[in-house]
Structure 1
Amino acid sequence: MTVASGLATIRNKVGGELPAWLAFAGCLIAVFMQMIDVTIVNTALPNLTADLHASRSAQLLVISGYSLAFACTLLTAARIGAMVGRRAMFLASVTAFTAASMWCGLATGATELVIARVVQGAAGAGMAAQTIAILTAGFPRERHPLVFALYGGVAGFAGMLGPIVGGALITLDIGGWGWRSVFLINLPIGMLAFGLAWRYLRMGRPVSRDRLDLGGVVLSTAGLFAVIFALAEIQQRGWRPELSAAIVVGLALTAVFVAHQRKQTGRGSSPLLRLDLFADHGFRIGSILVGAFFGLFTAFVFAASITMQDVLGYSPWRTGLVMTLFALGAGTGAIGSLILVQRWGIRVLAAGIALFGGCLVAGAIYLHLTSGEVNALLAAGPVFASGFGVGLFGVQLQPIMLSGLDTERMSEASGVLPTIEQVGNSVGLAVLTTLFFSAHTLGGSVTMMAAIAVVAMGLGVLTLAMPEAGRS
């Protein structure tokens, strides 16, 4: 082969994949927009509370209403996308999310804002529930580790960036919009995501027109709502008998939902959730790891914020700098995992989460010995290393757990994985706040870090049970 023909081959290959990458960029922008809205509102809450005269319950609903609507509609949104077409569902959801963001930014009362946030959360679920199916259909399997690394990196970074961006927007007060700018910023972002997806996202129409399993929709939505709502209330009020009862009811509804899905499958109907996904060993173990990891990571971010601001006396700006260093470590680990997993396989993930846990143990011991006196230069290395371990583990987990599925079942996982992640987030926060809610002391922070480290080490051991599918 001549140099000219070799270059022509490369140009043709890159040119052929360019539309897929541009469509992927639209998906990433949508993911960024949807994920940043989970945390950006926290910064604006005091301002919007004063402006709208929001009650305590309304304040909580501004945050939890979004998360509840998002988590409870993911499975339904994924099935609708499979029925009407992923492209059509994604574009409609981006449009609805952008419009709901404008509604939030123009809201004149607390109740109106809560309703707009619920609509925004449901639209976010419509986007998120199509993403994995779009990624797996748009790229060959050898590209999946890279695209999932980018997808996971953007989602994780957006969640950490939310409070920083929210603080900057409110401080700058662009156009005098104040807290409203944290919602209105989604307008140009949403239009860019829509434009790229409209122009470059090309997916075939669904082969079959299955009817929506309405019984499954009701059971899954009610079960998830009962569990996640109760967990959100536990974060604020602690364990109460009525909240424990709500969790029991939610779990019972979930069990009925699973039985209903088995019955639907036996009839040859199209279920809301394909239970044969969990027959795959990698997906089954991976689901446990994904749920536990998202709960662990959410608890860690919460614990780190309490420790730095309430115990060590850090300002929000200094706290943001520390978390930025952690995020840089996570990004480096994500990039490194693309190479290391190819060589050493699943052991890289186990080593990554063990490194994270080890850094937390070292941090807990250091805080105990120094009575909370932290040397910033000495702490920078472990902070970066802990992020590096998270990047090694978190980014390659999903492509490895999906690697044993065929294309059809991989598409079906598009709504399941985000649902597992959201449940993990809720459980992680509820457990942490229940056990350590009043422990805003140095001893409490040391105990929190040690507990999170123990769970991380356990995840490292469980990771070794995953199939060795990382060296494609």
Structure 2
Amino acid sequence: MTRREAAVALGSFGACLISVFMQMIDVTIVNTALPVITAELGASRSQQLWVVAGYSLAFACVLLTAARLGAITGRRRMFLWSAAAFTAASLWCGMSTSAMELVLARIVQGVAGAGMAAQTIAVITSSFRRDHQPYAFAVYGATAGFAGMLGPILGGAMITLDPFGLGWHVIFLMNLPLGVLAIGLAAKYLKLGPAPQRPPLDLRGAVVATAALFLLLFALADSQQAGWRPLHGIYVVAALALGGLFVAYERATRRGGGVALVRLDLFGDKGFAVGSVLVTIFFGLFTAFVFTVSILLQDVLRFSALRTGIAMTPFAVGAGVGAVLSPILVNRWGIRALATGVAFFGFWVAVGVGYLYVGSGAVNLALVTGPVFLAGFGVGVFGVPLQPIMLAGLSDRDMDEASGLLPTVEQIGNSVGLAVLSALFFRAHTLTGSMTMLSAIAVAAIGLGVLTLALPDRRATLGATPWSRATAA
């Protein structure tokens, strides 16, 4: 690779990292600021829900279509337009003067975020040699995970410090310089155009898939605000029926020689199939954990936003350390490293529940720093290598097709996690409710560790990456 080619690859990759950082931090940062937003804008319970869920719902429903549009119009063009729209929507969010206006701006922000996210796997595949792609995916996954964990910390700090007197508005306005930087890098370095043979949009498939995702995720999100009702069951059944129709339609399209919106044969690869299940469960657990801890600390234990951020900082640091060490651990122990990592997270969450029980909710931040750090370490060890391992068995063309599918699976996991959180916890903001939810997360994490052992061991596929070279050195 020449110096020019390296600069192009790193510049394109930098734009992807900035975009995923903005996308993921906007999922969790709002939760910390929500009490302040509610007080200032007079948001109803329903509007509070949609400030948070509107973004994720729009993001998930648009991903598959955005990936296909990128293949048709060009990844570069789609990424640039989406990044510009995301930046503008962030400005709109930051300038909103009513709860309904903020909800609408968040939905637009989610659509634009999906436009960026749906291009990234294809961009990474085209920017790096095959033997370097797992390393790039690991860095990308680490950035996404770190941003999700940084959200509550940064949100607490911003609300407390109140830079420039902007209040909660700053959590959205901080995207402006990041968005401009992402646009600049993509405009200069990202050269990926339309696919050589432009596939059709598959409008019917896009409509059916979007409707199925919307009904499923809307039912899960609305149940958080209103509790589970028979109508939500009808939505879920309708979503499953549309999902079945979508699968049948996509198979018929492939048999007829057409180009399906989703390559269902990707699930024929064991790593991708098992990895998709693991990703869904992990994102659900992680989302439930972050929101549970945030509500526990602020609503139950009455921590300030800043103290909440301080309490969560060791978790983010531990995840960063786990992310850095995960390549070495995977190279040495394979899939067992991932399984141990997520089970390790579950163990320390269980220890935290025991601490809350013994102390009746009294928390000494200095005393819990170690366990919180170790819980984050386990998340870093598991979460960062998972995506490159599940993608390792796919060809470059297959990974291009996975550009919209994998983020969609992740968002379904987020929504399922929030729905379960609602059913078990949201309607009872008590110490007992917190411990019940955290106990469930601990048990599920340990079970996820056992399930992880079903992943194929692909150290041979990953062996030529900088991971193994660093270990050998």
> Do they fold alike, i.e. is TM over 0.5?
yes
Structure-2-length-normalised TM-score: 0.92
Partner of 2:31: 42
Give the match's secondary structure for 1:269: coil
1:372 to 361, 366, 372: 361
Q: CA–CA distance in 2 between the matches of 1:261 and 1:113?
A: 36
Residues 301 and 13 from structure 1, CA distance in 2 versus in 1: closer, same or farther, beyond 3 angstroms?
same
RMSD: 2.1
Give the match's secondary structure for 2:114: helix
Give the match's secondary structure for 1:141: coil
Q: CA–CA distance in 1 between the matches of 2:35 and 2:365?
A: 30
Matches within 5 A, 1:107-146: 107-146=96-135
Q: What amino acid maps onto 1:334 in structure 2?
A: A
Contact 2:160 2:306 (8 Å CA) reproduced: no
Structure-1-length-normalised TM-score: 0.92
2:246 to 238, 248, 257: 257
Q: What amino acid maps onto 2:408 in structure 1?
A: T
- Measured after TM superposition, the shift of residue 424 of structure 1 is 0.6
Partner of 1:3: none
Contact 2:154 2:309 (8 Å CA) reproduced: no
Residues 40 and 313 from structure 1, CA distance in 2 versus in 1: closer, same or farther, beyond 3 angstroms?
closer
Q: CA–CA distance in 1 between the matches of 2:112 and 2:148?
A: 18
Q: Is 1:246 aligned to 2:240, yes or no?
A: no
2:329 to 305, 315, 340: 340
Q: Is 1:399 aligned to 2:388, yes or no?
A: yes
Q: What amino acid maps onto 2:412 in structure 1?
A: V
Shifted more, 307-316 versus 260-269: the winner is 307-316
2:89 to 94, 100, 103: 100
Shifted more, 421-430 versus 307-316: the winner is 307-316
- Measured after TM superposition, the shift of residue 114 of structure 1 is 2.6
- Measured after TM superposition, the shift of residue 402 of structure 1 is 0.4
Contact 1:132 1:414 (8 Å CA) reproduced: yes
Q: Is 1:307 aligned to 2:306, yes or no?
A: no
Contact 1:149 1:335 (8 Å CA) reproduced: no
Q: What amino acid maps onto 2:139 in structure 1?
A: L
Residues 179 and 312 from structure 1, CA distance in 2 versus in 1: closer, same or farther, beyond 3 angstroms?
closer
Residues 184 and 369 from structure 1, CA distance in 2 versus in 1: closer, same or farther, beyond 3 angstroms?
closer
Partner of 1:428: 417
Q: What amino acid maps onto 1:271 in structure 2?
A: A
Q: CA–CA distance in 1 between the matches of 2:241 and 2:445?
A: 29
Q: What amino acid maps onto 2:178 in structure 1?
A: I
Q: Is 1:153 aligned to 2:111, yes or no?
A: no
Residues 465 and 361 from structure 1, CA distance in 2 versus in 1: closer, same or farther, beyond 3 angstroms?
same
Q: Any gaps of 5 or more consecutive residues in structure 1?
A: 1-11
Shifted more, 318-327 versus 285-294: the winner is 318-327
Partner of 1:316: 305
Q: Any gaps of 5 or more consecutive residues in structure 2?
A: 464-473
**Percent of aligned pairs sharing the same letter:** 62
Q: Is 1:414 aligned to 2:411, yes or no?
A: no
- Measured after TM superposition, the shift of residue 210 of structure 1 is 2.1
Q: CA–CA distance in 1 between the matches of 2:94 and 2:433?
A: 38
- Measured after TM superposition, the shift of residue 284 of structure 1 is 0.4
Residues 294 and 17 from structure 1, CA distance in 2 versus in 1: closer, same or farther, beyond 3 angstroms?
same
Q: Is 1:288 aligned to 2:244, yes or no?
A: no
Give aligned pairs, total: 461
Partner of 1:61: 50
Question: Which whole-Å deviations, capped at 9, do the CAs of 1:324-363 have from their partners, x for residues lacking one?
Answer: 1001100100110111111211111011011111112222
- Measured after TM superposition, the shift of residue 312 of structure 1 is 4.0
Residues 320 and 125 from structure 1, CA distance in 2 versus in 1: closer, same or farther, beyond 3 angstroms?
same
Shifted more, 363-372 versus 121-130: the winner is 363-372
